[in-house]
């Protein structure tokens, strides 16, 4: 967590930063999924809990498999860097927490594996966000994130556009001018 000082972490609600990790990611809009590069896919159902930074997630591998259930908390330091915590849940815990008020977002996440040292994913959104296809790349260091090129299958970077974060999309829907 070297680029995030303890005072910033504490101000975001992490008084003991050892319980959080740093996520560094960039995001791009895409016209399609590069299916020839997909190594796996999962269907995500996310409940963004009203009035909080909490997200309840159910992930199921395409083709079946065990459900992965977890509760996460995110706080943005910048549009590209955030602190996260996450706990895995039993089906009973998930069922109880799924009754909390909030908004649901559904998407299929296609993993492309490592590309030039970054973990790359392409999300295809459903429901009110149908038509939105967004790639994201996650990085180990700030330096790797800053020097990473836009993938050839992407059309526009939206990392700094907070309207394309899950929490904003689930509340506000597709941004005005999205199809431009």
Backbone angles phi, psi at 21, to 5 degrees: -130, 160
Q: Among residues 77, 17, 22, 72, which one has the least CA distance to residue 47?
A: 72
Name residues whose C-beta falls within 8 Å of residue 41's C-beta, 6 or more positions apart in sequence.
61, 62, 108, 109, 110, 111
- Does residue 180 have a pLDDT over 60? no
Higher pLDDT, 51 or 20: 51
pLDDT tens readout for residues 111-160: 999 999 999 999 999 999 999 999 999 999 999 999 999 999 999 999 99
Number of H helices, E strands in the chain: 4, 9
Question: What sign does the dihedral 20-78-10-100 (CA atoms) show?
Answer: negative
Chain centroid to Cα 168, Å, comes to 12
Helix (H, G, I), strand (E, B) or coil at 96: helix
pLDDT tens readout for residues 12-50: 666 666 778 899 999 999 999 999 999 999 999 999 999
> In the numeric block, which tokens belong to residue 36?
């020839």
Query: Global pTM?
Result: 0.89
């Amino acid at each position: 967590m070297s680029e995030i000082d303890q005072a910033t972490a504490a101000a975001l609600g992490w008084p003991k930063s050892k319980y959080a990790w740093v996520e560094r990611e960039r995001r791009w809009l895409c016209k399609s999924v590069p299916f020839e590069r997909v190594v796996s896919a999962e269907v995500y159902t996310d409940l963004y809990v009203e009035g909080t930074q909490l997200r309840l997630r159910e992930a199921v591998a395409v083709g079946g498999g065990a459900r992965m259930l977890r509760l996460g908390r995110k706080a943005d330091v910048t549009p590209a860097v955030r602190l996260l915590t996450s706990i895995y849940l039993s089906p009973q815990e998930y069922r109880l927490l799924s009754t909390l008020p909030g908004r649901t977002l559904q998407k299929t996440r296609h993993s492309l594996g490592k590309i030039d040292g970054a973990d790359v994913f392409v999300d295809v959104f459903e429901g009110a966000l149908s038509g939105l296809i967004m790639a994201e790349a996650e990085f180990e260091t700030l330096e790797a994130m800053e020097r990473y090129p836009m993938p050839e299958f992407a059309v526009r970077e939206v990392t700094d556009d907070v309207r394309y974060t899950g929490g904003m999309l689930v509340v506000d829907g597709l941004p005005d001018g999205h199809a431009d």
